[in-house]
Structure 1
Amino acid sequence: MTTKTVKDLFIHSLSDIYSAEKQMTKSLPQMARAATNEELSAAFMTHLEETQGQIERIDQLVEGAGIRLKRVKCVAMEGLVEEGREEIEEIERGPVLDTALIAAAQKAEHYEIASYGSLIALAKQLGENDAVRLLGETLKEEKATDEKLSLLAEQKLAAEALGK
């Protein structure tokens, strides 16, 4: 099906972020295992729980709006996940890898933040008020996770990575 309308674009974008979130449910446990900093590992596991809730919100939105998602694979998230996986394989476990994991996670968060922002704008155009609310909840969580990762990097890992 080609994208011809704002509704088509909304459905495609929602299908794409659904795929991205599903990919994150597989990536976050790997990142948590690779992290040596306990707070970072815990942050990844906390975000895994949030991500599962975000998927449930999309399911709720789809059901409420009578939408059928497309079977698509988010290639952007696939690339971000692969980049993180390569860093896990190439960088020795420790503070430098932890710092790389934060950077990889923040790249994914920024992609999700941009996607949810766009979805909210589309939902507003379509008058999908429940979708705006549900997507807004997820956007807040994504921004909060990004902020937590920034604080962790600044307060703990920067000093560890520099050997201080």
Structure 2
Amino acid sequence: MRHDNDTALDIYLTGLRNAHALENEALSIMQPQISRLEHYPELLARLKEHVRETEAQIKRLETILKDFDEGSSTIKDVGGRIMGGLAALGHSMAGDEVLKNTLANYAFENYEIAAYKSLIALADATKQSAHVKLLEQSLGEEIAMASFIENHIEDTTLKFLRLSEAGRTAKV
């Protein structure tokens, strides 16, 4: 199923592998947060839902890669998991962990949105129209998550402030 323009297809396949690694990194960032969000039940519920969405996004990317008899990049996947784990660990030591995570998650979601928009453009350019629907589904999930975070930044910040002022553990 190679496209006439091997350069375009190579760029698309690299983008797919990068997105796969990015989604694995996202899991390694979100999963540690879930175990630490006892004071933020709405955020906790949404993060759990997004972990399930992210797992489905990884499967969609694997399905697309299989169309080309390609796999993901183990090096990129492992590297992404390590980087995500280090980021989560670094935030967990901060007194304002939930705020740092909220801001980082918002930035990360927007990065993923850009990645999926790029992949959709590449799928169109390489005439891989069957992939567009799968990529658009993932894009929609990322947009919804970014919107959720954006709509809750103020509430999360103020709840953190109230907990801190009350002398309660406000990290998570």
TM norm. shorter chain > 0.5: yes
1:54 match: 57
Q: How far apart in 2 are the matches of 1:111 and 1:103?
A: 13
- In the alignment of these two chains, the number of paired residues is 155
Structure 2 runs not aligned, ≥5 long: 1-5, 166-172
Q: 1:143 to 1:77 in 2, by over 3 A?
A: farther
3-state DSSP of counterpart to 1:73: helix
Q: How far apart in 1 are the matches of 2:26 and 2:111?
A: 12
Q: How far apart in 2 are the matches of 1:7 and 1:21?
A: 21
TM-score by length of 2: 0.79
Q: Which has the higher contact order (CA 8 A, sep 6+)?
A: 2
Displacement of 1:24 in angstroms is 2.1
- Greater than 4 Å deviation, 4+ residue runs: 74-81
Q: How far apart in 2 are the matches of 1:76 and 1:30?
A: 15
1:139 match: 139
1:7 match: 9
AA at the equivalent of 2:156: L
Q: Kindly provide the CA deviation profile for residues 111-155 of structure 1, in whole angstroms up to 9, marking residues without a partner as x.
A: 11111111111110001011111101100100000001111222x
Task: State the superposition RMSD in angstroms.
Answer: 2.2
Q: 1:21 to 1:87 in 2, by over 3 A?
A: same
8 Å CA contact 2:120, 2:136 repeated in 1? yes
- Which has more radius of gyration? 2
Paired-residue identity, %: 23
